[in-house]
Amino acid sequence: MRFGPTFLAVSVFLILFVAFILWLKIAVNVDFPFLGFANVTQLGYMGQIGDFFGGVLNPLLSFMALIAVLFTIKMQSKELKEAKEETRIANRIQDKQTAVFERQNFESVLFRLLDVHGRLAERMRARNKGEGDLFKIVVDGVLDLVNESEAALKVKRSDLLGFDSWVEHRAQQERLNADGLGKLIESVKIVIGNDCKILLSQYFRNMYQILKLIDNFKLEVHEEGSEKGKKSKRQLRMEYFQRRQYCNILRAQISDDELKVLYFNCLMRDGHGLKYYVEKYSLLKHMDKGGFLQVSWEWSATYMETAYSDYEQISDFQIREFQKARSSSNFTHMFPHH
């Protein structure tokens, strides 16, 4: 049975009203027609009745007081619960507002870096009048040196027909492939290491900072039922997808020749950090593997397949391993070439 504040107020009012009437009759001797005493005996009898009602009302009033205390405690508990809920909602709103502010700051910095990227790329496309696109010059220079070394390698490959043992044939083939890749890297060092090195260094350092900013941006995808501090496959994929969307903005600004120069740059030791992001976010996705990368098999094998993949082709396992990997060397060991 529940006693509301209205019931308690009415009860207290009735008790006080009856007490006030009795006080007026006995102490002040106010005449009430409905409440009269014929003689002293009747007055004594009414006193006994008063004692009886007093004995009954005292525990009743005490019980009502207890009910009032319990009701007050219940109301305070309810108010405390509501206050906690309001605080939780306020904290959630504040967290969302903080997340919005952080994303706005992140996007502001990101688009400033993308603007710098565009200006650097434009500078290299029109470095000096009459010299042409610097990216194309680098690509042509590397391919010219590679073609010269490939001519010598073709002669060596023709000697493979003289091996009777398949094991010796295979071993020599691997040595020639490694030699061809070494010649490619050496050609890249020669071409990129000339007077265009400063501009290219600025270009790739800025690109690295863009990708690092995106990769380090704190994204919180909440999922009901997930353990605190442990992200589910779905959470990791959603976070990866959001970061990849930002990387797609950068990838959309990269021309074909820029992609080729990016490919060459990441083969060198100084480009290993950038290579990790290239593989993670598939920056070589639009590169023509059927043309440029088919010059030699070992060229395409220098990158993980994820560097050329669509988002749908990236597995949950690869996303989780990307999350763990923090260097190009670790990534290579986690996804060995076949």
Average pLDDT over residues 56-80: 84
Convert the pLDDT of each residue in 223-239 to its tens digit: 555 555 677 888 889 99
Confidence of residue 141 (pLDDT cuts 50, 70, 90): confident
Residue 305 has pLDDT above 70, yes or no: yes
| HSE-up of residue 21 (Cα within 13 Å, Cβ side) | 10
Encoded tokens for 103: 């994303």
Share of residues in the chain with pLDDT > 70 (%): 64
Residue 209 has pLDDT above 70, yes or no: yes
CA–CA distance from 304 to each of 142, 317, 328 (Å)?
22, 14, 11
Average pLDDT over residues 149-157: 50
What single-letter DSSP state applies at residue 128? S
CA dist., res. 12 & res. 179, Å (int): 102
CA dist., res. 117 & res. 250, Å (int): 9
Confidence of residue 30 (pLDDT cuts 50, 70, 90): low
Are 241 and 235 a contacting pair, CB within 8 Å? Answer: no
The region that residue 296 occupies, defined by phi over 0 for left and psi between -120 and 50 for alpha, beta otherwise, is beta
Convert the pLDDT of each residue in 31-60 to its tens digit: 666 555 555 555 565 666 666 666 767 777
Local structure of 333: helix, strand or coil: helix
